Structures are given as structure tokens and as C-alpha cells.
Amino acid sequence: MRSSARAAEAIGTSRLALALLNVLVMGLSMIPLIGVAGCAHSTGGGTQRASSKSSSDGGAGDDGAGATASGTWDWMFRSHDEGGNLVVEQEEWHLNQRGRTVDGYYDRVVTRISQDEQLFKCNVQGSFTRFTRVRVAGEMTDDASGKRVRLREVEYRTKPGPCDDGARILVSYEGEIDGGAMRLSIEDGKGAQTLNRRKPGERREAIAREAGFDGEEPAASTSQEPPARLSGRWEWSLRSIDAEGDERNERENWALVEDPDGEVHGSYDRWVTRTRGTGLFPCNGTDHFETETHYEIRGHRFGDRVTLTETAYNAKKDRCDNGLRRLDLYQGTISHGSNGVLILTWGTGSQVLHRSPDPPVETAPLTSSRAPR
């Protein structure tokens, strides 16, 4: 999980902040302290976790559990940010393996503590904490050792607060399980970490309790109907009047394919037509123009939840369209029933896709490209 703007619920010198400091003093974390001079008390500190994340206790030996991913895993890291504030990161992973399939979630807590008694601007206190719960899904791979694992973050929740804008970025991991240690590498070489398996009977205070996540892990849907199939064609349209008084007609045709392991790929085409009520558009000297964009999509389905990422686009450039687009990340839900609807959210927007009556087809390769929302 990545935070695109590191922020969090303010708790002052809360019980959690003190508890984390006590953990450090007691030596549960043996990570060397990384010092940075100065103390500029903002909520900054980068968009990612530590780029290299070490084991919190040097790695556990083989506890007889073998290469199974099931169990509770812990990780902790401490450092100083560019302002000299102490940063304590802690994660508690809960995974369940059935056959080759692995799923579960982890709770992540990041606490920043002032080291020079200056207060943070976001909450006018000496510390603040950010809470995140991230659902993950994946599988053990076909590696001959039987120890390789692949995991994807598919959904997250945060706790609102004056120091947290709630924005996160979902990532994927490749890793290896070696007895009591799980070494994970973040996609594209963006970092690594080693989780330690919690030994049977070992009890620790759940970090989720302070965040209010305790007991809130989403359960499987209780609907008697199975979730609608995701593979197939979907469509969406909207007619509106924009800020300039022009009529705006938007239309999207989606084609998605869901693999047996929950991987989703496909594409969609987006058309936006603008019609001027009075006068002409300077770009083409007429009262209307249309933009067309083709997007490539990849993602993952977990039950009735869907995460989709636009990976590429192609736009037709002309006098009224510079051909530039942004790529969005969607989180959504597919409703139950034979047809169902696909509800997607991105940034500050949302849309509801309905299944198209057209028969499903294989998605075409990247050939064309969606206008900025």
C-alpha cells in the first residue's frame, strides 16, 4: 500500500504512539535508526513506505510451518523523515491459503512523532497516526521450490482525520516464504520487506483495535444469488451541460474478460461529443466536435469487489483535441444476479455500468483512446 499524500488521523501522543515507542525501547525492532537533521512539521515525507524494509527481528527460523502462507505475519520499521521526526511503521498481515490460492488483509499503522517539541500543523499536536486496512489476494506460483508467492492489493480502507486525505496507491508483490519469514519485493523494484510469522500461541495487541478496524473485516456476501459474471460487454452514457453552457454527451463501451484466478483484462472506448448552444468552436469553426479514446484495462476481482487500472490509452489528435489523457484507478462492486451492474469509483467521481445486450467478444489490441473527465 502506498500513500499518495502521507496523512492520517490525529491522535496526539496517543496510547498507540506511546505503545510503539515502548516496543522500540524494549528492542522488538532491531532496525538501525536512520537520522535526518531538522524538524519541519508538515505531513509530508514522500509517497511511499521505506524503499527498503527490513525484518523487525532479524527473521525467524523455520518453525515447521513450511511454505504455507496461512497465519499472522508482523513487520515493523523505524526511521526519521526529512524534518527529523521519528517515523514508526507497523504492519500486521492475516493470510489464509487454500490450495494455491492466498487471500487476506493487513493493517498498517504509521506514526510520526516530533523530536523537538514542535507541533504538527495538521492537528496542532506532537504526533499523528495514519491507519490503513488493505485486502490482498494472490497465489503460490509454479516455482519448483513451492515457496514462491504472488500477492496483489485489491482494496483498502482508511480512517479519516485532519492529517489524512485518504489517498492510497495499490501495489503488487513477488515473494518467497522460508519457514518463519516471508520476503516480499514490491513491483518494479520500488522496495522490499521481510515479514515474520507469529509463532503459535504468541499474543500481541492487535494494531487494528486503536484504528477501530477490529472486528470489521468484511465478510463474504450473504446474498443467495451468486455475483454476476464480469466477463462481457458493459456500457455507460451521460448527457450534461458543462460550465461553458455546451451540451456534453459521453458514451463508453467496455469489454472485459475475467480469468479463473480473478485476473481481469480488457479495454473500453470512450466518446465525448460537445455541442455549442450559441456560436461556433474556434478550433474547427463548427458548433460541435467529438473526441475518441481507447483504454487498456487490467485488474483483479475478489468476490463482488473489483479493482481496475487503466494501463494505456490511444487518442485521436485533431484541432480540437490535444490527445493527452490521464490514467485512472477504479475500485468497484459488481451486483448479484444474472445481469447485475458494475459500480465504479475513481478520484472524486463514480459511474454505473450496465451490461450490454451485445454478445461478449475477445478484447482487441490497443488501437485508439477517453477524454479528460
**Mean pLDDT across 169-175:** 87
In this structure, is residue 373 part of a structural domain? no
Q: Are 5 and 47 in contact (CB under 8 A)?
A: yes
Question: Do residue 43 and residue 153 come from a single domain?
Answer: yes
Has residue 65 been placed in a domain? yes
Judged against a pLDDT cut of 50, whether residue 171 lies above it is answered with yes
Pair (170, 267) in one structural domain = no
- pLDDT confidence of residue 70: 92
Segment 314-337 mean pLDDT: 86
pLDDT for 352 equals 85
In a shared domain, residues 206 and 298 = no
pLDDT of residue 87: 94
Domain residues for the domain of 116 are 15-211
Name, in order, each residue with C-beta under 8 angstroms of 268's C-beta and a sequence gap of 6 or more. Answer: 234, 252, 253, 254, 255, 294, 295, 297, 370
Burial of residue 134, with CB atoms counted within 10 A of its CB: 0-12 exposed, 13-18 middle, 19 or more buried? buried
Same domain? For 42 and 177 the reply is: yes
Yes or no: say if 36 and 80 are a contact pair by the CB < 8 Å rule.
yes
**88 beta partners:** 78, 111
**357 or 321: which leads in pLDDT:** 321
Is position 330 within any domain?
yes
* Residue 4: per-residue pLDDT: 33
**15: pLDDT strictly greater than 60:** no
| Tens of pLDDT, residues 319-329 | 999 999 999 88
Q: Are residues 238 and 141 in the same domain?
A: no
Q: What is the pLDDT of residue 240?
A: 86
> Considering the domain boundaries, does residue 5 fall inside one?
no
In a domain, 367, yes or no: no
9 within a domain of the structure (yes/no): no
Q: How far is CA 164 from CA 6, 14, 159, 213, in A?
A: 7, 16, 8, 16
Task: Please check whether residues 87 and 179 belong to one and the same domain.
Answer: yes
Average pLDDT over the chain reads 75
With cut-offs at 50, 70 and 90, classify the pLDDT of residue 211.
low
User: What pLDDT, on the 0 to 100 scale, is given for residue 215?
Assistant: 55
Predicted pLDDT at 268 = 96
pLDDT of residue 135: 87
Residue 227's pLDDT is what?
A: 60
**Percentage of the chain lying above the pLDDT 90 cut:** 38
Total tally of structural domains belonging to the chain = 2
Model confidence at 204, pLDDT cuts 50, 70, 90, reads low
Inside any domain, residue 224: no
Contact (CB, 8 A) for 78 and 33 = yes
76 Cβ neighbours under 8 A, 6+ residues apart: 23, 28, 29, 31, 56, 88, 89, 90, 91
Residue 60's pLDDT is 37
Task: Determine contact, residues 113/88, Cβ cutoff 8 Å.
Answer: yes
User: Do the beta carbons of residue 306 and residue 353 sit within 8 Å?
Assistant: no
pLDDT tens readout for residues 214-263: 554 543 333 445 566 789 999 999 888 887 888 999 999 999 999 887 88
In a shared domain, residues 24 and 139: yes
- Co-location of 283 and 347 in the same domain: yes
| Distance, C-alpha 348 to centroid of its chain | 15
32: pLDDT strictly greater than 50: no
Q: State which of 211, 240, 259 marks the end of a domain.
A: 211
Instruction: Kindly state whether residues 56 and 91 are assigned to the same domain.
Output: yes
Give which of 316, 332, 270, 273 is closest to 295, Cα–Cα. Answer: 270
Within-domain flag for 40:
yes
pTM of the prediction? Answer: 0.52
- Per-residue pLDDT tens digits for 111-142: 999 999 899 999 999 999 999 998 888 888 87
Whether 337 and 204 map to the same domain: the answer is no
The predicted pLDDT at position 245 comes to 84
286 Cβ contact list (under 8 Å, min separation 6): 280
Q: Give yes or no for a contact between 86 and 17, defined as CB atoms under 8 angstroms apart.
A: no
Residue 367 pLDDT level (bands cut at 50, 70, 90): very low
Task: Write down the pLDDT at residue 138.
Answer: 85
Residues 34 and 136 in one domain: yes
Rounded Cα gap, residues 238 and 254, in angstroms: 15
C-alpha cell at position 274? 460537445
Instruction: Please indicate, yes or no, whether residues 53 and 97 belong to a single structural domain of this protein.
Output: yes
Please tell me the predicted confidence (pLDDT) of residue 17. 44
